[in-house]
């Protein structure tokens, strides 16, 4: 499942993933867009300049994804204040404008199980009541009769 957060300057971003899962940042951008300026409930003083063709209509910081990956990726919890200083040590590239942070993320499992069955065999997949089964990869292929590759299921963990 993919989650999306949209926050204005000054707000706190809180990302939380349940036990057994970790944050996986999929997309992020922080900046100003003329088409989205109304989302933060402010009318920037510079808006009239935009509508008359003066100034940039869009202004985004280019390293937002890198910052969020460094701060949140593969953690269970993450929080940060939405402000220019969170994303850059340089000067504000779009001063006097209320900016917006957009983040899309998933909570990915930390453990994966592998099941293998030979032809005409069945596999039963089970999980705890509060969990879900997600098939990450499935493949059917034929092995020569001299080579049997039907081994016991294995478990994989992202973190030890």
Task: Give 54-69 pLDDT, tens digit per residue.
Answer: 455 678 888 899 999 9
Among 31, 15, 150, 134, which Cα is nearest to 74's? 15
User: Rounded to whole angstroms, how far apart are CA atoms 100 and 77?
Assistant: 21
Query: What would the pLDDT profile of 74-87 be if each residue is shown by its tens digit?
Result: 999 999 999 999 98
Sign of the Cα pseudo-torsion (52, 56, 58, 59, in order): negative
What are the structural domains, with CATH classification, of the chain? 2-109 (2.60.120.740)
Task: Give the rounded distance of the alpha carbon of 129 from its chain centre.
Answer: 25
User: What are the tens digits of pLDDT across the range 7-27?
Assistant: 999 999 999 999 889 999 999
Inform me whether the pLDDT recorded for 115 exceeds 90: no
The per-residue pLDDT for 30 is: 93
Tell which wins on pLDDT, 47 or 6. 6
φ and ψ at residue 58, rounded to 5 degrees: -130, 145
Q: Computed from CA positions of residues 1, 70, 14, 82, in that sequence, does the dihedral angle turn out positive or negative?
A: negative
């Amino acid at each position: 499942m993919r989650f999306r957060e949209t926050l204005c300057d000054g707000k706190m971003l809180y990302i939380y993933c349940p036990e057994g899962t970790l944050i996986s940042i999929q997309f992020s951008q922080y900046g100003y867009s003329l088409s989205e300026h109304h989302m933060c409930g402010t009318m920037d003083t510079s808006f009239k300049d935009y509508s008359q063709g003066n100034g940039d209509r869009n202004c985004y910081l280019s390293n937002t994804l890198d910052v969020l990956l460094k701060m949140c990726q593969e953690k269970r919890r993450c929080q940060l204040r939405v402000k220019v200083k969170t994303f850059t040590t340089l000067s504000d590239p779009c001063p006097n404008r209320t900016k917006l942070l957009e983040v899309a993320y998933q909570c990915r499992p930390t453990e994966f199980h592998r099941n293998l069955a030979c032809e005409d065999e069945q596999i039963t997949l089970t999980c705890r009541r509060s969990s879900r089964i997600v098939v990450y990869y499935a493949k059917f292929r034929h092995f020569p009769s001299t080579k049997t590759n039907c081994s016991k299921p294995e478990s994989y963990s992202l973190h030890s």
